[in-house]
Structure 1
Amino acid sequence: MAGRLRRPAAAALGLTAAGVLAWSTLVERQLFTVRRHALPLLAEGAPPLRVLQLSDLHLAPWQSRKIRWVRALTALNPDLLVLTGDLMGHRDAKAGLVRALAPLIESTPTVFVHGSNDYYGPIVKNPLKYLAEPSRKSTRTPDLDAAGLAAEFTNLGAIDLNNSAARLVLRGTRLELLGLNDPHIRYDDASAMRDALATIYAEDGVDGPEPESLRVGVVHAPYQAALGELLDDGAQLILAGHTHGGQVRVPGVGALTANCDLPTAQARGLSVWYDAHRAAFLNVSAGLGNSIYAPVRFACRPEASLLTLEAPR
């Protein structure tokens, strides 16, 4: 009797598992969406700024649907485009990536930083290792043309923020943008970033931040040390990616890993990062892609982030 009861239960469990696998590999990872937030960061009376953040495309040459979806984002009319790395997902992805992003970069002020997967092509890995520790790369030789990708972007008009800084005036608001290269592979250099900002101040003939300027930090992997460096430099908003939002989330629980030392509760979406003296909004994009060797997303749709910065109401 017990055996006859167990067989239907096992069959139902098997069907459920097959359904979850089919959904997460064939359907959900193609359901691109725009996650929207409004942040009260601008001075009183300032017109709103729309910041579009794209991260972790992990683009492969054959992903034409993703390319078309990204190209269509020009309809959002953002005031600023921020690319937070891991855009490459294949050694032959550069041409497709430029095709996807060129309409946005050419029409929108754009800044970018690299992620580890803009230096290293994807390889087969045991996904369970992500639950034990971050997948930091320290022994492989970079095999992707990150410098060529940066050159393509800058030729289109984008600003390279890898361990660098920039100042922009958008709709009357002055932005100071601070960027770090990827802490995941220990390419970040906060001293170089600060030197770049000091050089900009000297060239502009100012001593430091101007009143009512907004300071934005940009980094691929939201390691706590990197977030602390950006807080130390007065960032009021920090934009990051890398985590894929956990990629596979358990309903009611959330992400099981952030693939860095960020608390998993902050692995996707908007939160606040703070220390004893300062605080900043932190937006961690769940990104638009996945490794070609881990084509799965569950309870974690691929996303772009549209942040509307506005004056307090």
Structure 2
Amino acid sequence: MDAARIRRRLAGASRLAAEAAAAGAAALAYGSLIERNLFGLREETLAVLPPGRRPLKLLHLSDIHLVPGQKRKQRWLRSLAETEPDLVVNTGDNLSHRQAVAPLLDALAPLLQVPGVFVPGSNDYYAPVAKNPFAYLAGPSTLSADHGSRELPWRRMHAAFGSCGWIDLSNRHQSIVVDGLRLDFTGVDDPHLQRDRYSGFPRGSVSAGQAAHLRIAVAHAPYQRVLDYFTAGGAELILAGHTHGGQVCLPGYGALASNCDLPTWRARGLTWWEHRGRRVPLNVSAGIGTSRMAPVRFACRPEAVLLSLVARPS
């Protein structure tokens, strides 16, 4: 091969590398400046209520990751009250900064007037640290050794939620009545931190199962072990977050990682989880925010989810 041909090939390769770098920079700019603020509402309908019951609207919030100064996110969160939900389920990772509790409570104030339940995520307990983003492709993230020094004011947040009537489902169960229907909840502390201890569903009286009810299971991180024991325990709906929908996805392919052992094709949306002959609807929210250490989304818009629960055919 003569020298001129070699020079042409090298020039072509350099041009391709420059074009790829430019495309990557443009995608990063779009994801960090635009898409991460394109908040949307995903709406789903599920026939899970006992026959003859009127519909219930369940608003599923997850992974807000609030940082002071995120005014657009706060305004959008306040606007979600316009959906007029009957129930709010918050699946954790509300915080991403030590000073985020007050702006979070302000943003959620209208929704805190609605019956609600919640479970925490790891970023409610500990502030995030900068990590190599490619490490997520190798498996779920882990806590750094100094995590204790980064504890966030989660107790204050939990107390405020509780004072407004929202129920903490960390490793516990409880029933509430919404529009005359008994909702039996079970929840766990964050499985990503291995704090989950399944307590089962409320038992009630010996005739409790004969009354109209719905069993809902709630967790932050949808690890398969958690989905399995929820399903085996009789859950009729499972709600989770944590995955951010992959956060950075490939158009036409989807998520590259779920940050847990959930298959990536389940990292966002409504699917059906099967275990021991039972099949249960599983809603995984793509979440509303990102870690402040990785403020970018690509092909994965932030979302809240409005589930319209309707009656099963009689």
Asked if these proteins are the same fold (TM beyond 0.5), I'd say yes
**Cα distance between partner residues in 1 of 2:284 and 2:144:** 24
**Cα distance between partner residues in 1 of 2:213 and 2:143:** 37
1:296 Cα offset (Å):
0.7
Contact 2:232 2:275 in 1 (8 A): no
- Unmatched 5+ residue regions in structure 1? none
Contact 1:70 1:101 in 2 (8 A): yes
1:118-157 matches, within 5 Å, as 118-137=124-143, 139=145, 140-141=147-148, 143-157=151-165
Equivalent in the alignment of 1:307:
307
Equivalent in the alignment of 1:244:
244
Match for residue 80 of structure 1 among 81, 87, 92: 87
Equivalent in the alignment of 1:158:
166
Identical-pair percentage: 49
Contact 1:46 1:172 in 2 (8 A): no
**Cα offsets for 1:156-184 (capped at 9, x unmatched):** 11111111112122223221111111110
Equivalent in the alignment of 1:112:
118
1:45 Cα offset (Å):
2.0
1:5 Cα offset (Å):
4.5
- Unmatched 5+ residue regions in structure 2? 1-7
Contact 1:116 1:182 in 2 (8 A): yes
Equivalent in the alignment of 1:61:
68
**Cα distance between partner residues in 2 of 1:137 and 1:280:** 31
Whether 1:89 and 2:103 are equivalent positions in the alignment is no
Contact 1:138 1:185 in 2 (8 A): no
1:22 Cα offset (Å):
1.1
1:87-236 matches, within 5 Å, as 87-106=94-113, 108-137=114-143, 139=145, 140-141=147-148, 143-190=151-198, 193-194=199-200, 197-198=202-203, 201=204, 205-206=205-206, 208-236=208-236
**Cα offsets for 1:72-125 (capped at 9, x unmatched):** 10000001100000001111111111111121011x111000001110111111
**Cα distance between partner residues in 2 of 1:74 and 1:100:** 10
**Cα distance between partner residues in 2 of 1:147 and 1:249:** 34
| 3-state SS of 1:129 partner | helix
Contact 1:137 1:184 in 2 (8 A): no
| 3-state SS of 1:41 partner | strand
**Cα distance between partner residues in 1 of 2:255 and 2:71:** 28
1:206 Cα offset (Å):
4.7
Whether 1:71 and 2:89 are equivalent positions in the alignment is no
Change (3 A) 1:67 1:256: same
Equivalent in the alignment of 2:5:
none
Who wins on radius of gyration, i.e. which is larger?
2
RMSD between aligned alpha carbons?
1.7
1:63 Cα offset (Å):
0.8
Q: Aligned residue pairs: how many?
A: 304
**Cα distance between partner residues in 2 of 1:14 and 1:260:** 30
Higher mean Cα deviation, 164-173 or 5-14?
A: 5-14
**Cα distance between partner residues in 2 of 1:114 and 1:39:** 25
**Cα offsets for 1:193-237 (capped at 9, x unmatched):** 23x834xx2xxx455434431100000000011111211221010
Higher mean Cα deviation, 161-170 or 52-61?
A: 161-170
**Cα distance between partner residues in 2 of 1:235 and 1:293:** 35
Question: What is the identity, as a one-letter code, of the residue corresponding to 2:158?
Answer: A
Contact 2:186 2:218 in 1 (8 A): yes
1:276 Cα offset (Å):
2.4
Equivalent in the alignment of 1:26:
33
Equivalent in the alignment of 1:269:
269
| 3-state SS of 2:34 partner | helix
**Cα offsets for 1:117-145 (capped at 9, x unmatched):** 11011111111111111113374326112
**Cα distance between partner residues in 1 of 2:154 and 2:21:** 43
**Cα distance between partner residues in 2 of 1:306 and 1:52:** 5
Change (3 A) 1:284 1:91: same
